[in-house]
């Protein structure tokens, strides 16, 4: 019998994936945590039936949410990852030699457990001695840690449940205070096709709090519409002023010095959105 799983990306649009088997399923305090094996995308992590990451396309998202920011900074040492319990963002952060410590603050320990068991190529950095893992609410963590981090990555789910507050102006102000004087943050900010109210609101909030706000995009096949956005708030350094010839060689498959530039070239309909 053919087993398929369907994610409703909007109320009128869905994505269906043939499933070989379910490897893990636990209902946590926050959500339904699942890992399924599929022919098309290998293993994938689902939270409440929504695709979070897959073995086949995770490199796009994890490289872009990490390297644009870290290569914009000068010798970043302390990095905070909020959410990101699958470990993919931590793995990419640890590719930067200057990083002394990366702190992961994930609210749901079941996500970390599932990733360690069934997504070893994504969660491998979680056992690195430079990685600190805290199971807690990221909103609370930034409020309690002032002037600490060179970079903050908000690798959250969609704005649902415990993640709603991760998309609000109050949180961005706390992020501003948790960063050092020259720090920056990058957050995943959903689809330019399907989240047309959220993206301009976030961009306006971040522009009013940080000296500069920037939006960039990347193509993640399993995310709604494929085209995904990331918003950066920076206190000093501008990613567009980076000398891309000086970007260190990194083992990547999507990110490159050319992509560091081109991902900020926005289509007219997106420029219109954040105008
Ligand atoms: N890349 C994925 C995406 O864009 O959909 C996100 C992956 S990551 C697994 C998202 C994580 O954010 C989840 O594990 C979830 O438990 C965590 N999360 C949600 N709200 C949180 C909060 N307030 N503090 C810390 N982690 C949170």
d(CA 55, CA 119): 8
Residue 154 has pLDDT above 90, yes or no: yes
Average pLDDT over residues 4-18: 96
d(CA 173, CA 127): 31
Which band of pLDDT confidence, cut at 50, 70 and 90, is reported for residue 66? very high
How many Å lie between the centroid of ligand 1 and the Cα of residue 187? 11
Which band of pLDDT confidence, cut at 50, 70 and 90, is reported for residue 191? very high
Average pLDDT over residues 105-120: 98
Residue 113 has pLDDT above 90, yes or no: yes
Determine contact, residues 270/192, Cβ cutoff 8 Å. Answer: yes
pLDDT at 24: 98
Q: What is the DSSP string of 36-93?
A: EEETTTEEEEEETTEEEEETTTHHHHHHHHHHHHHTTSSS--EEEEEE-TTSHHHHHH
Catalytic residue among 108, 150, 155, 205: 155
pLDDT at 273: 97
What is the residue-averaged pLDDT of the chain?
97
pLDDT at 2: 84
**Helix, strand, or coil here: 23?**
strand
Which band of pLDDT confidence, cut at 50, 70 and 90, is reported for residue 239? very high
Structure token pair of residue 98: 């200057």
**Helix, strand, or coil here: 27?**
strand
Determine contact, residues 64/88, Cβ cutoff 8 Å. Answer: no
* Site to substitute for ligand 1 among 7, 123, 163, most atoms within 8 A of C-beta: 163
Percent of the chain with pLDDT over 70: 100
How many Å lie between the centroid of ligand 1 and the Cα of residue 156? 3
Average pLDDT over residues 68-90: 98
Active site residue 155: yes
Percent of the chain with pLDDT over 90: 99
d(CA 164, CA 109): 19
Work out whether strand 21-27 and strand 4-10 pair parallel, antiparallel, or are unpaired. Answer: unpaired
Q: Which atom of ligand 1 is nearest to the CA of 61?
A: 1
How many Å lie between the centroid of ligand 1 and the Cα of residue 158? 8
pLDDT at 67: 98
Residue 1 has pLDDT above 80, yes or no: no
User: Tens digit of pLDDT for each residue in 23-34?
Assistant: 999 999 999 999
Residue 166 has pLDDT above 80, yes or no: yes
Q: Who lines ligand 1 at CB under 6 A?
A: 30, 47, 52-53, 61, 82-86, 105-108, 111, 137-139, 155-157, 162-163, 166, 188
């Amino acid at each position: 019998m053919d087993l398929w799983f369907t994610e409703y990306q909007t109320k009128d649009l869905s994505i269906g994936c043939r499933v070989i088997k379910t490897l893990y399923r636990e209902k946590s305090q926050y959500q339904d945590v699942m890992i399924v094996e599929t022919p098309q995308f290998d293993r994938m992590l689902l939270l409440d039936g929504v695709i979070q990451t897959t073995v086949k396309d995770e490199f796009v998202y994890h490289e872009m949410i990490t390297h644009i920011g870290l290569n914009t900074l000068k010798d970043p040492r302390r990095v905070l990852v909020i959410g990101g319990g699958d470990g993919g963002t931590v793995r990419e952060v640890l590719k930067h030699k200057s990083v002394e410590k990366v702190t992961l603050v994930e609210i749901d320990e079941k996500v970390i457990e599932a990733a360690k068991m069934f997504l070893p190529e994504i969660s491998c950095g979680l056992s690195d001695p430079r990685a600190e893992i805290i199971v807690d609410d990221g909103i609370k963590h930034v409020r309690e840690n002032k002037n600490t981090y060179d970079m903050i990555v908000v690798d959250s789910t969609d704005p649902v449940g415990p993640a709603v507050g991760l998309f609000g102006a109050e949180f961005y102000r706390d992020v501003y205070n948790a960063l050092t004087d020259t720090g920056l943050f990058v957050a995943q900010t959903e689809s330019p096709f399907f989240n047309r109210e959220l993206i301009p609101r976030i961009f306006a909030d971040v522009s009013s709090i940080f000296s500069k706000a920037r939006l960039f995009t990347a193509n993640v096949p399993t995310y709604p519409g494929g085209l995904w956005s990331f918003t950066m708030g920076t206190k000093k350094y501008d990613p567009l002023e980076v000398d891309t010839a000086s970007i260190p060689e990194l083992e990547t498959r999507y990110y490159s010095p050319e992509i560091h530039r081109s991902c900020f070239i926005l289509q007219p309909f997106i420029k219109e959105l954040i105008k």
